[in-house]
């Protein structure tokens, strides 16, 4: 019997543990969904053999990745796109598809060796894409376990993405309908700063965008600043 840990607080990863338990019923599966619970002590108590991290917005402590085999999933074809806000940075650069990379966590950000990669289409809202990624990650975890995959060093040109701060969600400088649509959909997920416009007194946020030939229809939320 092996002991595996899933680390995520996101709703699109909620069913991952249950799905994996059905495929590997003779193994034990644990879930960590709170920042302060990802510690060497908690993983020691689980006797963790592998730690799978599908979506995590916090720094992973060195005491964790130095003592356990931690596998993180990054939404770019590494080493292209190391760094923050991978989905948003891909879409603003015009990418229609990418690869999900499964890599071992090491000290350098997204610099660890790669277990495997799988194709991902980038159509739809951010939340739709994250649910799609969850299904891909499920398949990748199954492959890593069943084939006992060993990671190999990254090769290719390194391109680093910078994390996009909330102020970059402003639509004020958008020049085309396509640009507006992409910015709304790439931020349309729980926990992300939605695309917005501002007046002197109000903030106007946009979600659920649909693009036609010459217009965009979207849900709007207006709040006082």
CATH 3.10.25.20 residue ranges of the chain are 166-224
The pTM is what? 0.93
Tens-digit pLDDT profile for residues 106-154:
999 999 999 999 999 999 999 999 999 999 999 999 999 999 999 999 9
Q: For residue 2, what pLDDT is reported?
A: 97
Instruction: Determine the average pLDDT of the residues in 154-176.
Output: 95
Q: For residue 165, what pLDDT is reported?
A: 93
As to burial, measured by CB atoms within 10 angstroms (0-12 exposed, 13-18 middle, 19+ buried), residue 175 is exposed
Please give the mean pLDDT across all residues of the chain.
96
C-alpha distances out from residue 68 to 5, 209, 220, Å: 11, 42, 45
Q: For residue 193, what pLDDT is reported?
A: 94
Instruction: Determine the average pLDDT of the residues in 74-81.
Output: 98
C-beta separation of 108 from 79 below 8 A = no
Q: For residue 188, what pLDDT is reported?
A: 97
Instruction: Determine the average pLDDT of the residues in 93-109.
Output: 96
Q: Specify whether domain 3-161 bears CATH 3.40.50.170.
A: yes
Assign domain 166-224 to a CATH class: alpha beta
Q: For residue 213, what pLDDT is reported?
A: 84
Instruction: Determine the average pLDDT of the residues in 59-84.
Output: 97
Spell out a b/e string for 73-102, using b for 16 or more CB atoms within 10 Å of the CB, else e.
bbbbbbbbbbebbbbbbbbeeeeeebbbbb
DSSP for 29-92, written as a single string: EEEE-SGGG-SHHHHHHHT-SEEEEEE--SPPPHHHHTTS-EEEEESSSTTEEEES-HHHHHHH
Q: Residue 197: which region, alpha, beta or left (left: phi > 0; alpha: psi -120 to 50)? A: beta
Say how many C-beta atoms besides its own lie within 10 A of residue 26's C-beta.
6
CATH 3.40.50.170 residue ranges of the chain are 3-161
pLDDT > 90? residue 57: no
């Amino acid at each position: 019997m092996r002991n595996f840990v899933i680390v995520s607080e996101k709703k699109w990863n909620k069913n991952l543990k249950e799905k994996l338990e059905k495929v590997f019923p003779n193994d034990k599966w644990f879930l960590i969904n709170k920042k302060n619970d990802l510690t060497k002590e908690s993983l020691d108590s689980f006797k963790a053999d592998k730690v799978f991290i599908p979506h995590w917005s916090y720094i992973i402590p060195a005491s964790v990745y130095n003592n356990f085999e931690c596998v993180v999933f990054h939404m770019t074809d590494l080493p292209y796109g190391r760094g923050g806000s991978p989905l948003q940075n891909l879409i603003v650069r015009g990418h229609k598809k990418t690869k999900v990379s499964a890599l071992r966590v090491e000290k350098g950000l997204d610099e660890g060796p790669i277990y495997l990669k799988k194709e991902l289409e980038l159509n739809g809202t951010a939340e739709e894409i994250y649910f799609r990624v969850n299904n891909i990650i499920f398949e990748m975890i199954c492959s890593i376990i069943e084939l006992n995959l060993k990671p190999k060093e990254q090769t290719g040109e390194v391109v680093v993405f910078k994390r996009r701060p909330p102020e970059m969600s402003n639509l004020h400088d958008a020049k085309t309908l396509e640009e507006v649509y992409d910015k709304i959909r790439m931020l349309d997920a729980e926990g992300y700063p939605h695309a917005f416009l501002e007046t002197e007194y109000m903030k106007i946020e946009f979600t659920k965008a649909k693009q036609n030939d010459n217009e965009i229809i979207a849900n709007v939320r207006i709040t006082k600043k």
